[in-house]
Amino acid sequence: MVREVTVARQVPGWAEANDIDDDGTILGAADDAALGRISFVQRPHEPARALRGPAGTTNVNAVGIRSGWIAGWENQTSRSVAVRWQPRTGAPAQITDGNSGVCSVNSRGSVGMQDAIAHRHGRIVQLPGLWDSGARGAKVLSDRGTAAGFSYDGAQVRAAVWTGC
């Protein structure tokens, strides 16, 4: 069985689902006639709604959903900020000291970013790289303090696993 996910004012031509929660809630993106490109959430048996960032804009990119927690970022006028949306209210909160490179979220609301894990009560755990410098990112995040992703030294990208985070 297949069904189409529709967004109010959706422009014909482009929409996609990016993630799905265990309860069937869909996280996606679409072109909206009034708002432009949006990220949306659609709970089972409810209409899809655009996500808004802490600054109130719909210029957001949501990348993951687990147990209702949504993670992504908002493109603000001068920069992008990491955002975590609350499960029940949908209220957005900027992740303080977080970068905008959000990759994942777990069922506890911890957010995996390019160089750190941001726990929902404010604790930030920096991720060390396999080398002294270079990019790294927590692409997936378990509920038990383990993250997996990549570490890059400028020439090589390697799979990496972090524990105790």
pLDDT tens sequence across 23-73: 999 999 988 777 777 899 999 988 888 899 998 888 889 999 999 999 999
Q: Which two tokens stand for residue 110?
A: 């911890």
CA distance 90 to 42: 11
Residue given tokens 């979220």 in the structure block: 105
Put simply, whether the predicted model's pTM sits higher than 0.85 gets the answer yes
Q: Considering the chain, what percentage of its residues have pLDDT values greater than 70?
A: 90
Flag whether pLDDT at 3 surpasses 70: no
Q: Label residue 9 by pLDDT band (50, 70, 90).
A: low
Q: How far apart, in Å, are the Cα atoms of 7 and each of 52, 132, 154?
A: 15, 45, 41
Residue given tokens 């147990």 in the structure block: 67
Burial of 140 (0-12, 13-18, 19+ CB in 10 A): middle
Question: What ranges do the domains of the chain cover?
Answer: 10-124
Average pLDDT over residues 145-150: 92
Residue range 10-124 in CATH 3.10.20.70: no
DSSP letter for each residue of 81-103: EEEEE-TTT--EEE-TT--S-EE
